[in-house]
Copies of this chain bind each other. A is one copy, B any other.
Amino acid sequence: MAELLLSRRDLDFLLYDWLGAEELIARERFAEHDRETFDAVLDLAQELAARHFAPHNRRNDVEEPRFDGERVVLHPEVGAALKVFVDSGLMAAAMDHDLGGQQLPTLLANACTAWFQAANVGTAAYPFLTVANANLLAVYGTSEQRERLVRPLAAGRFFGTMCLSEPQAGSSLADVRTTAEPRPDGGYRLFGTKMWISGGDHELSENIVHLVLARTPGAPAGVRGLSLFAVPKYLVAADGSLGERNDVVLAGLNHKMGYRGTVNTVLNFGEGRHRPGGEPGAVGELVGELHQGLACMFHMMNEARTGVGLGAAALGYTGYLHALEYARSRPQGRPLTGRDPSAPQLPIVGHPDVRRLLLAQKSYVEGALALGLYCSRLIDEQRTAPDPAARAAAGQLLEVLTPVAKSWPSQWCLAANDLAIQVHGGYGYTRDHPVEQFYRDNRLNAIHEGTHGIQALDLLGRKVVRGGGAGLAVLLDAFAATAARAAQLGGEAGQFAAALEAAAGRVRHTTGVLWASGDPEVALPNASVYLEAVGHVVLAWIWLEQYLALGGADSAFHHGKRQAARWFFRVELPRTGPQFDLLDALDRTAADTPSEWF
C-alpha cells in the first residue's frame, strides 16, 4: 500500500541528496538525532500511514461525520488510527524536548506528515490542526500555558482548532464580530459564532482547545482590534485537571464535497447552553498581547500555508502513483502505427498520450513536494542556522515563497488529480477507484487558509514589495544563484539556467511595471495571474535545483527526474509568457467590467 502513497525513493532524494537533512544534525537543537533516527521516523510514518490511515480513507468519506443530536459521530476507525498515531509520539515530532517532543527538524516532521496526508487527509487533519495549535501556544503562551495546555496537546490528550472565520467574515477578518469581555480575574468571556471550524467538536480527545480571534471592548476597528484567546471545551484547572463544560456549543456541521472525514463545524461561543462558574459566556484566556491576535496568527501562517501546500502535493502524489499503476496494468488499444486488431492490446502506459498525462502529473507532484520540503527546510534554517544573517535570509525567502508554496500545489496537484482520473477513463470517475476522492479532497486546498486570490494579494501586494522590494530581491537572488551553478555545467543544465534567468527577468520587469504607479488599483487587479506566473517560475527553479542534485547518476529514478525537469522547462515554463504579457499590458478587461454587464 505504501508504494501507492508517496515514493520513499523520491523522499530520500529530496531530504538527503538535495536538502542536506543530515547537515542539520550538527545543529544544537537536533544534536540527539542522526541519520538513523531520521530514517526510523520516516519508516514509522510510512508504516502507520499505510496500515492505519489508508485503509479507512474511503469509508471516512462515505460515512462522513454526523451529529446524532447529542454528539458528533465519527467513523470508529478514525479514533483507532489516531490512538495509534498519538501513541507513536509523532504528534510532537518537531516539538521541544521540554514539552515531551522529539525535537526533530520541521523538514522531517513535514515529510512524515505528507505520508498521512497521502493516506487519509480527512483523518490526518485532526492531529495536524492540533500541532499547529500547539506550536502557536508554545510560542505565544505563557510558561504556565505551555505546561497546562501545550503539554497535553503535544501528548495528544487534547486536540486543537483554529477559530478565525465567521459566517460574515471569511477572507475579511476585519469583520470578525466575536467579542471577548474582560473579567475582574483577568480572564475573558467570549460571545459569537465561528464558521468553518475543522475538528470543532468530537470525542477523539479528552479536551479541545480552540484558538479564537475576538474583539475586546473599545478595541480599534478592523484587524488591529483582534486578540487571540484559548477557549477549551472543558475548563482546565491550574493543576491540569479538567473541570466544567465551557460554553462552546456545536451549532451545525458543514457538509463538503470532499475532505469529508474531517468534521467541519459552526461553533457558538457563549450562547448560554452552559454557564461555567454560573456566569454567561465562554471562558477564554488571552494568548499573547492584547490586539496582537492577527500578528500571532500570521506568525504561524508560513507553517500552516506550507502545510496546506504539502497536503495538496501529497494528494496529487498518491493520485499520480495510482494512475501509474493503472496505466501499467490496463491493456487497451494498440500503437499509433500498425493497428493490427489481432495483436494484443498495449498496457496504456505505452500510449504517448497517456505518458503525457503521467509526465505532467510527475512534474506537478514531485515539484510540489519538493517546494513544500524546501520551505520546511527554510523553517529549520530560520530557527537553527548558526549565523543570524542566514536565519534572517531564510526567513525572508520563506516569506516570499509561502503564498506560492500554498497556492501552486493547490492548483497544479488538483490538475494532477484531474489527469489521474483521465488516465483511468470511466473507471476513474467511479468510486471504485480512489482518484475521484483525491480530486474532491484536493479541491479544498485553494480555498482554506486563505484563498488563491488572498495568496495573490499577499504575494504581489505585500511580500514582493516589502522593504522597498527586498522580498523580490531575495527571490531573484535565489533564482540567480541556482542558475549560476547550472550555467557553469553548460549543456542541458546551461539551457535550463538560461530559461530560468529569462523568466526571472520577466518577473523583475513585470513587478516593476505593475508597481510603477505605486497604486494598488493598478497593480493588484491581476494579482492572481501574477501569482500563477511567478509560481511557475518558482517551480522551474525548484526543478533546476533537483536536476542539479541528481549529479551524474543514471538509474531509472534519476532519468525520470531529469525527464520531469525537461517537461517542466519545455512545456510548463513557456505558459508564463502570455501571462507576463497580459500583466505588462496592465490589462483591465475584467477590472473594468461593470457588475451589470455580466
Residues of A within 8 A of B (CB): 165, 168-172, 174-175, 195-196, 221-223, 254-258, 324, 328, 331-337, 339, 341-342, 345, 347, 349-356, 358-360, 362, 418, 421-422, 425-426, 428-432, 436, 439-440, 443-444, 446-448, 451-453, 456-457, 519-521, 524-528, 556, 559-560, 563, 566-567, 570-571, 574-575, 577-578, 581-582, 585, 587, 589-591, 593-598
Contacts and interface: CB of A to CB of B under 8 A. Distances in A.
Given A353-B456, A447-B425, A256 B598 contact: no
Contacts of A597: 556, 559-560, 563
Is the contact region of chain A dominated by helix, strand, or loop, or is it mixed?
A: helix
30 contacts: A168-B345, A170-B426, A171-B333, A171-B425, A174-B341, A175-B332, A175-B345, A221-B341, A256-B430, A257-B431, A257-B440, A324-B598, A328-B595, A337-B519, A352-B525, A352-B591, A353-B527, A355-B590, A356-B590, A422-B447, A422-B451, A429-B444, A556-B594, A559-B597, A560-B593, A570-B589, A571-B589, A574-B578, A574-B582, A577-B578
Nearest to A196: B426
A257 B594 CA distance: 36
Contacts of A336: 520-521, 524-525
A575 B574 contact: no
Specify which of A422, A571, A590 lies most central, judged by the most chain B CB atoms within 10 Å of its CB.
A590
A142 B353 CA distance: 41
Nearest to A557: B597
A560 B598 contact: yes
Contacts of A436: 256-257
A170 B425 contact: yes
Contact of A520 (B196, B337, B354, B446): B337
Contact of A528 (B170, B356, B527, B594): B356
State the number of copies, please: 2
A60 to B, nearest CB: 16
Specify which of A174, A425, A426 lies most central, judged by the most chain B CB atoms within 10 Å of its CB.
A426
Nearest to A165: B426
Nearest to A437: B257
A255 B432 contact: yes
Contacts of A170: 332, 425-426
Nearest to A321: B598
B254 A430 contact: yes
Contacts of A168: 331-332, 345
A551 B455 CA distance: 41
Nearest to A578: B574
A142 B231 CA distance: 77
A222 B341 CA distance: 5
Given A255-B432, A257-B431, A559-B597, 20 more contacts: A165-B426, A221-B341, A222-B339, A222-B341, A254-B430, A256-B431, A257-B440, A335-B521, A353-B457, A362-B598, A421-B443, A422-B446, A422-B451, A425-B447, A425-B451, A429-B443, A566-B589, A570-B582, A570-B585, A574-B578
Specify which of A355, A451, A452 lies most central, judged by the most chain B CB atoms within 10 Å of its CB.
A355
A225 to B, nearest CB: 8
A356 B587 CA distance: 11
A588 to B, nearest CB: 8
Contacts of A350: 595
Specify which of A174, A520, A524, A597 lies most central, judged by the most chain B CB atoms within 10 Å of its CB.
A597
Nearest to A195: B426
Nearest to A590: B356
A359 B426 contact: no
A521 B337 contact: yes
Contacts of A333: 171-172, 174
Contacts of A443: 418, 421, 429, 439
B349 A431 contact: no
